[in-house]
Amino acid sequence: MKKILKILAYVFTALLVVIVVAVAYISLALPNVGPADPEYKVEITPEKVAHGKYMAYHVMQCVDCHSVRDFSIFSGPPIASTLTAGGEIFDHSMGFPGVFVSPNITPYGIGDWTDGELLRLITTGVKKDGDPIFPVMPYHNFGKLDLEDVEAVIAYIRSLEPVETNHPKSKADFPINLIMRTLPAKPSFTTKPSPIDQVAYGAYLVTASSCGECHTKFENGEFVGEFLAGGREFLFPDGSLLTSPNLTPHESGLKNWTKDMFVQRFKMYQNHEELTPVKPGEFQTIMPWFMYSGMTEQDLEAIYTYIMTLDPVENYIEKFKPAVSMR
């Protein structure tokens, strides 16, 4: 009996050592995407700033997340006084494994960052201090973009007026704080396709806009559904449940949508003042319609053209369940 207990003690000790070593490795050696280039510098021109503003507002949705959204109004448009100043909270009430606060990306928040550090953050998810961010920001998508588009965003946020804020730091729950360290990877930049090739260009825009992040089923920390076939669930703080719709060309998705219908669905939200208040229990969405409505018709048409080339996937979705029906 003593011999068995001694063996068990050795096994337990060995396992404990392995766990300690693994945790130490993850904590100290990861993420490993390489240092930020101290010599890297983005040239700032009026044209680059203008393009960066378009990408940040209407495609990559940087401004949407780095502002506070007003969910008393349909689709939660950002509050004008908070634009780019951060402060949006993603926490347990929304199903997040921790409390994550979007940082201030005006020069007040990033003024002491080098361009190389900003590039590394946006495209790998690694901060100035070497720690990772939670992938609320889809840095793995941004690392697949054309470097010129990312540089344009950096040029744009450099041009902003500084806004003073005092947001709390984000904090991930255990073991997510360790898992986060394994996620960053080096970027694999691509060349943006010509708009003439609408399918390739549309696919690029879908990546830049991170459509798949919301419109692909996601469970237990990984995507488990067909790309863009919908089914990802989003919990609102009041207990309402939103499920993303199917975007594939199936009858349960966009099969019966024309290109013009698709474009106009976005353009109908261009006027911020026309977005209606939402009462408790009424349909609400996290889809930032107001922000996406600023995309050019050419870009929206390209996204539609690409989507129509996908394999149709049957996935009928009940898009919204108010809190009262979930009790």
Per-residue pLDDT tens digits for 135-149: 999 999 999 999 999
Indicate the angle between helix axes 147-158 and 115-124, nearest 10 degrees. Answer: 120
pLDDT tens for each residue of 199-237? 999 999 999 999 999 999 999 889 999 999 999 999 999
- Rg value, the chain, Cα: 22
Q: In the prediction, which pLDDT does 186 show?
A: 97
Q: Are 53 and 134 in contact (CB under 8 A)?
A: no
> pLDDT for 267-316, tens place per residue?
999 887 778 999 888 999 999 999 999 999 999 999 999 999 999 999 99
Q: Is 220 exposed, middle or buried (0-12, 13-18, 19+ CB in 10 A)?
A: exposed
- In angstroms, the CA 22 to CA 31 distance is 14
pLDDT of residue 184: 97
Q: Which of 91, 89, 87 is nearest to 67 (CA)?
A: 87
Show the tokens assigned to 192. Answer: 């943006």
Supply the pLDDT for residue 288: 96
Cα–Cα distance measured from residue 84 to residue 109, given in angstroms and rounded to the nearest whole number:
10
Predicted TM-score of the model (pTM): 0.93
Q: Is the Cβ–Cβ distance between 238 and 279 less than 8 Å?
A: no
Angstrom distances, CA of residue 205 to CA of 54, 75, 254, 304, 327: 13, 21, 18, 10, 39
| pLDDT at 272 (0 to 100) | 72
45-66 residue pLDDT tens: 999 999 999 999 999 999 999 9
> In which band, very low, low, confident or very high, does the pLDDT at 320 lie, cut at 50, 70 and 90?
very high
Q: Say which residues have a Cβ less than 8 Å from residue 6's Cβ, sequence separation at least 6.
A: none
